[in-house]
Amino acid sequence: MQITLKQAAQKIQAANKILVTAHILPDGDAVGSTLAMLQILRSIGKSAQVFIDDTVRANLHALPHFDEIRRPAADEKFDADLLLILDTEPGRIGNVRNLTDAPILNIDHHVTNSGEDYDLYLEHEAAATCEIVFDFARELGAEITLDVATCIYTGIATDTGFFQYSNTRAKTLRTVSELVTCGVRPNEISEQLEKKSLAEVRDMCRALQSARIYFSGKVAGIFLTRAESTEGFIDLIRVINGVDVAFMINEKAPNFCRVSMRSKGVDVATIADSLGGGGHVRAAGCTLKTSIDEATKILVAAIGKALHVENPSDAGTLLADIA
């Protein structure tokens, strides 16, 4: 059930011990929003703990209070009177769901989140969940400290592609202006977020070598196997002139493929939703439990259908083979 920001804030105020979580495969917005909310909750007298059921990539480890994130152990239980889920719907939080039977409060900005069986505050126009967390801090009367501002800025910056994507709106920039006033240094955060290991750079090279073009240049895809961190990889092909939809498939394990999509015009959230995933109109993803070859066929066919092309089974052409 969708509720208002004020109603959501009242539910937070009524709780004493709050378990905070976000989605598996956490990005900057997921980690930034949970750590910002952790500090906000404690500042208003709540007991709070963050659990995320996945590893967090190294360039986010410098965020304030990162070392307080816990990963749930098998059969672990956590005594809470509210489960606060950020940046996703309850089906994508992994084993955190088994930690507690507490009522759910979900705060999100993904348009595909239905909120059918839980309380949901959804602001689909927000550039990031961190932008919504900023509003909650104000509603709850919490101070925006430098540490809180750093976490919030990180989530907004990463979800807007450092303010390049179409989800960047006037309110987003007003929020960021206030965060900078709090002491945030955008250059230092961007330098930290842009860091990549040698292994990641090698994976980027492999991704580019795998790139294929589909549907007369309207679609581009890259393919990886067991790559640990792929942040920013999809932008390598999103910028190709004429490409509307860019996608990346990462086969994390046999018959288990993570799919990410970005677009300039096509509604990729609808495509992802049809494949059991979700996201935004211009950025979405899903998981396909099949081989990478079969996942590619399924995804390309779904994209082709969305593009209304005559041959949705286009096999693609290696980028290296295009003159």
Give Cα separations from 108 to 27, 59, 124, 126, 130 (angstroms). 14, 23, 8, 9, 9
Q: Single out the residue in 193, 210, 239 at which a domain terminates.
A: 193
Q: Is the same domain home to 220 and 163? A: no
Number of domains in the chain: 2
Q: What is the pLDDT of residue 321?
A: 79
Q: Are 45 and 15 in contact (CB under 8 A)?
A: no
Q: What is the pLDDT of residue 227?
A: 85
Q: Is the same domain home to 255 and 163? A: no
Give Cα separations from 92 to 50, 73, 174, 278, 303 (angstroms). 15, 17, 31, 10, 23
User: Helix, strand, or coil here: 318?
Assistant: strand
Q: Are 244 and 221 in contact (CB under 8 A)?
A: no
pLDDT tens track, the chain, 323 positions: 999 999 999 999 999 999 999 998 899 999 999 999 999 999 999 999 999 999 998 999 999 999 999 999 988 999 999 999 999 999 999 999 999 999 999 999 998 888 888 999 999 999 999 999 999 999 999 999 999 999 999 999 999 999 988 899 999 999 999 999 999 999 999 999 998 889 999 999 999 999 999 999 999 999 999 887 888 899 999 999 999 999 999 999 999 999 999 999 999 999 999 999 888 888 899 999 999 999 999 999 999 999 998 777 787 888 877 75
Give the residue from 126, 30, 16 showing the smallest Cα distance to 79. 16
Q: Is the same domain home to 222 and 74? A: no
Q: Is the same domain home to 231 and 120? A: no
Identify the CATH number of the domain in which residue 10 sits: 3.90.1640.10
Give the residue from 282, 274, 285, 219 showing the smallest Cα distance to 252. 285
Q: Is the same domain home to 280 and 257? A: yes
Q: Is the same domain home to 25 and 143? A: yes
User: Identity (one letter) of the amino acid at 274?
Assistant: S
- Residue 136: which H helix or E strand, with range? helix 129-140
Q: Is the same domain home to 105 and 145? A: yes
Q: Is the same domain home to 174 and 221? A: no
> What domain range includes position 106?
5-193
Q: Single out the residue in 175, 193, 211 at which a domain terminates.
A: 193
CA distance 211 to 58: 26
Q: Is the same domain home to 152 and 282? A: no
If one counts every other C-beta atom within 10 angstroms of the C-beta of residue 301, the result is 13
Q: Are 245 and 219 in contact (CB under 8 A)?
A: yes
Q: Single out the residue in 193, 215, 247 at which a domain terminates.
A: 193
Q: Is the same domain home to 131 and 259? A: no
Backbone angles phi, psi at 162, to 5 degrees: 55, 45
Identify the CATH number of the domain in which residue 235 sits: 3.10.310.30
Q: Is the same domain home to 111 and 35? A: yes
CA distance 95 to 100: 10
Beta-bridge mates of residue 219: 214, 245
Q: Is the same domain home to 107 and 126? A: yes
